[in-house]
Chains A and B, each alone.
Chain A
Amino acid sequence: MPPIVSIENLSKVYASGLHALKDVNLAIDKGEIFALLGPNGAGKSTLINTVCGIVTPSSGTIRVGGHDNRSDYRAARRMIGLVPQELTTDAFEKVWDTVSFSRGLFGLGKNPDHIERVLKDLSLYEKRDNRIMQLSGGMKRRVLIAKALAHEPQVLFLDEPTAGVDVELRQDMWRLVRRLRDQGVTVILTTHYIEEAEEMADRVGVIRKGEIILVEDKVELMRKLGKKQLTLHLAEPLAALPESLAGYALHLGPGGREIVYTYDTQRERTGITRLLTDLAAAGIGFTDLDTQQSSLEEIFVDLVRGHTGAAP
């Protein structure tokens, strides 16, 4: 199946001379949830805005559903819904009117049933006759999402949808995104909450200084780049690790009560069996053991610091 969004050799140099995107290539599959991660100023919003037609690219091509986003912009844009990063709403309009307005802009006739459904999904229906300025920040964020969904887009861009949003709304949002995905909508989101990407995304892309440095299936990424740690809770505290275990990447925990073994899940052999045998030979007994996997957050921090390879 061809990608629903395909970005080829995309570069953007702002009038200030700033090189915000450098030869970006990216293909988004239909129906996936794609999380774009990167530190502040990495170019996430620039990338999204370029696809949506708000920023003019310096070079490269963008296709949405096979339509070039410049020569065939009507067809391309009709497929896209955008929730921008900034909370930019009208003030005096009523919620219902502003959402209907968005539907009109995208060339569709009135459909009160659809608007009603969208507002209900976002718990906005009771507020439909309120002026936007009377709403709280989180509610305004919902209005922006409702506007983006008013024309039944097939590709939804969410630029930091959960910034400054409380736990409840965040979970509402996650539910909504999953429901959209179930309906076949492709979702591309940026976020600074890594646990959000970990929770939601099918695939993860990392952008740094305008360059995509990695695109990977989330599970695969966590398996590949994730370190695993085995912690052994010792029966007797140890003063120091015996010489015979020097060949392992071991670390003696506080009070000498635990040994932490870090290993790479990608290796053919983890070395655990051999370690346990050697421990027994050294006369070290343990009462309990557990393993932990590094989170996407740790992987991410490693990546943007410049380590692109697997951890040691």
Chain B
Amino acid sequence: MNLPAVLAIYRFEMARFWRTALQSIVAPVIATSLYFVVFGAAIGARVQTVDGIPYGAFIVPGLIMLSLLTQSISNAAFGIYFPRFAGTIYELLSAPIAPFEVVLGYVGAAATKSIFIGLVILATAALFVPLHIEHPFWMVAFLLLTAVTFSLFGFVIGLWADGFEKLQLVPLLIVTPLTFLGGSFYSIEMLPPFWHAVSLANPVVYLVSAFRWAFFGKGDVAVGVSIAVTFGFLALCLGLVTWIFRTGYRLKS
């Protein structure tokens, strides 16, 4: 195991994060505050509670998930895409590093960043609504699991993308809609049966549901199912990354 290399990559990526700290941290804080103003104040005035939970508090897990997913994906995707684009990837390819170690460095850093942002959002939310976390251990566990899984997914996108548009494409066209439709701001129980069934095909539903369960003790689907779906997606991403490194796809000629 080439630990110094993993640490070097990790530190490099974290340095990039702190260099752009203003936009990395301030942007999510402002966005979260806006969500609270718009959803919390406007909708919350009509919808008092969902499932017995005050609406303002109800949307907190979904808000954190929304940022966690988009941040994990974009951080990891950009982290590996940029060296490919700039050509500095030559150094990674010629260093005595195993693919696993490269992934560990990039995905570890991307997950750290998005967890950090998730916690910042949680703290911001706590300023607006009183929060009580039912299962703190599971809350942290889901935070970690989701951050790692989607950072890995972002890493795959960063390897696959051959232009900046593609880098934006997946987060913008797939992940954000899935998150909005994934019960971040409502319970899918509120939907008509047909749309409820459709929603169950959306993986984000399981993430949000499990996370909400960690906060309030109830979710839209069983926690076990959520965990299984998340691990399934994690395994899929791991498989893809392994295949990419084994074949050198988009990395080597």
21 contacts between A and B (CB under 8 A): A15-B253, A54-B252, A73-B96, A82-B90, A82-B94, A84-B90, A88-B87, A90-B86, A90-B88, A93-B15, A97-B15, A101-B8, A101-B11, A104-B4, A104-B7, A105-B9, A105-B97, A106-B96, A107-B3, A107-B4, A107-B5
A 224-258 to B, binary, CB cutoff 8 A, 1 in contact else 0: 00000000000000000000000000000000000
A 46-84 to B, binary, CB cutoff 8 A, 1 in contact else 0: 000100111110000000000000000111111010101
What is the minimal beta-carbon distance from B251 to any residue of chain A, in angstroms?
9
- Taking CB atoms, residues of chain A closer than 8 Å to B5 are 104-107
**Chief secondary structure at chain B's binding surface:** helix
- Size range of the chain B interface in the assembly: 20 to 34
Binding site for A on B (CB under 8 A): 2-5, 7-9, 11-12, 15-16, 19, 86-88, 90-98, 248, 252-253
Given A54-B90, A84-B90, also A106-B12 (CB < 8 A): no
Binding site for B on A (CB under 8 A): 14-15, 49, 52-56, 73-78, 80, 82, 84, 86, 88-93, 97, 100-109, 147
Docked CA distance A80–B91 (Å): 11
A74 touches B15 (CB 8 A): no
- Taking CB atoms, residues of chain B closer than 8 Å to A75 are 96
What is the minimal beta-carbon distance from B103 to any residue of chain A, in angstroms?
15
- Taking CB atoms, residues of chain B closer than 8 Å to A100 are 8
- Taking CB atoms, residues of chain B closer than 8 Å to A14 are 253
What is the minimal beta-carbon distance from B80 to any residue of chain A, in angstroms?
14
Given A86-B87, A101-B8, A108-B4, also A77-B94 (CB < 8 A): yes
What is the minimal beta-carbon distance from A50 to any residue of chain B, in angstroms?
10
Docked CA distance A107–B105 (Å): 13
B2 touches A107 (CB 8 A): yes
A105 touches B91 (CB 8 A): yes
- Taking CB atoms, residues of chain B closer than 8 Å to A109 are 4
- Taking CB atoms, residues of chain A closer than 8 Å to B9 are 105
- Taking CB atoms, residues of chain B closer than 8 Å to A76 are 96
Given A15-B253, A54-B252, also A106-B95 (CB < 8 A): yes
- Taking CB atoms, residues of chain A closer than 8 Å to B96 are 73-78, 106-107
Given contacts A55-B253, A77-B96, 13 further A-B contacts (CB under 8 A): A53-B94, A54-B93, A55-B252, A77-B95, A78-B96, A88-B90, A90-B88, A92-B16, A101-B12, A104-B8, A105-B92, A105-B97, A107-B96
Closest chain B residue to A84 by CB distance? B90
What is the minimal beta-carbon distance from B164 to any residue of chain A, in angstroms?
16
